[in-house]
Structure 1
Amino acid sequence: MLNKQIPIISFVGFSGSGKTTLLTKIIAAFKEKGYRVATVKHDAHRFQMDVQGKDTWKYAQAGSDIVLINSQEKLAMIENLAKPISFEEVVSHIENVDIIFVEGYKHESPPKVLLVRRETDLELLPQLKDVIAIATSLPLQLEEVPVYDINDFNGIVHFIETKILGEKKHGSRK
């Protein structure tokens, strides 16, 4: 079940549409306002976080299903999955933040900001549920959702604060 306590918003679009660039600006703006932020990146490929030859890599190579590393400032966990897990299971691991930003997971249920760089990118719009805004470099005007210039991250931040967070206080879980 999705964590209803923490608001979630996804940034979706085709590869190269600028999702990471826009999201890093939005994360920085939310942090500047005092929010605690979590970010989930969906990777359709097989990512590799552990560095060959390092201790954590050696533990995984030896057969450990879960490897955690902890310092005074960070905690990381790498878990080998027996089967793919759902989006809900992924976000269920997140606690103690004001908002969760997601890059990807086009077909999951959180509200979405669709990034559009080319006219053909608009083909995604009817395929997706819960698109609440579009960020684009094109001169678009749509009636069904608000359209923001892709460089207007402050406008998108304000939209997210009012539409997604509502009355929630800045940095309320700080």
Structure 2
Amino acid sequence: MRVIGLAGWSGAGKTTLLTKLIPEFNRRGVRVSTIKHAHHAFDLDTPGKDSWAHRQAGASEVLISSGKRWALLHELRDEPEAALPELLARLSPVDLVIVEGFKRDRHAKLEVYRAANDKPPLHPGDPSIVAIASDTALPDAGCPVIGLDDVAAIADCLFAKAQPLDTVLARAKEDS
């Protein structure tokens, strides 16, 4: 497995870009999984459903399964938030894992930058940013800048710059 991240401020278009990249990789025969960091509480099951009731009753984990999919919900309760290496270890093997968020971690990342967002670029302060997808020229970027709408070129770059899982895990271990 290889790992690459998408980093950028809220509103930059990370999710929009990711929903264009996944089909592009699928057309190329590349199996992709994603990890998305959320900054808030979220729910995957609906209040009143059995799985929700199990969690509300105090279950540590609830696995929901059907003929179409399965999902595992893990309640942290008072445990600390899971680190990226722990989450990566829980994924089934694929060709490429794209991580949306975790912008402070040191895995290789592509910055998604949109000028209209009126936020400063991340790349000057983050040596883990290996390329930028932008809607504007960034002549002093110090790394490749790709047009935000050039999905094929972004996919090429992501696949080329993705790091082997072992490298990502070793770097995270160094940081802890």
The alignment's TM-score, normalised by the length of structure 1, stands at: 0.85
Aligned residue for 1:9?
4
2:150 to 149, 152, 156: 152
Deviation at 1:158, TM superposition (A): 1.4
2:123 touches 2:141 (CA, 8 Å); kept in 1? no
1:114 to 95, 103, 111: 111
Aligned residue for 1:90?
87
Deviation at 1:165, TM superposition (A): 7.5
- In 1: Cα distance, 2:60 partner to 2:140 partner: 48
1:88-138 deviations in Å (ceiling 9; x for gaps): 111110122001001110011211010111285444222223111101111
Aligned residue for 2:171?
none
- In 2: Cα distance, 1:55 partner to 1:35 partner: 35
1:38 touches 1:97 (CA, 8 Å); kept in 2? yes
| 2:80 maps to 1:102 | no
For these two proteins, the number of residue pairs brought into alignment is: 161
Aligned residue for 1:74?
69
- In 1: Cα distance, 2:115 partner to 2:160 partner: 28
| 2:159 maps to 1:164 | no
Aligned residue for 1:58?
53
1:37 touches 1:99 (CA, 8 Å); kept in 2? yes
Deviation at 1:79, TM superposition (A): 0.6
- In 2: Cα distance, 1:48 partner to 1:14 partner: 23
1:107 touches 1:129 (CA, 8 Å); kept in 2? no
In structure 2, relative to structure 1, the CA distance for the partners of 1:40 and 1:15 (3 Å cut) is: same
- In 2: Cα distance, 1:130 partner to 1:56 partner: 39
Aligned residue for 1:3?
none
Deviation at 1:139, TM superposition (A): 2.3
1:135 to 129, 133, 136: 133
In structure 2, relative to structure 1, the CA distance for the partners of 1:111 and 1:48 (3 Å cut) is: same
- In 2: Cα distance, 1:123 partner to 1:34 partner: 32
Aligned residue for 1:40?
35
Aligned residue for 1:171?
none
Query: What letter matches 1:105 in structure 2?
Result: F
The alignment's TM-score, normalised by the length of structure 2, stands at: 0.84
- In 1: Cα distance, 2:162 partner to 2:84 partner: 19
Deviation at 1:45, TM superposition (A): 0.9
DSSP-derived class of the 2:132 partner: strand
Query: Percent of aligned pairs with the same residue?
Result: 35
Deviation at 1:62, TM superposition (A): 1.4
Give the root-mean-square deviation of aligned CA atoms: 1.8
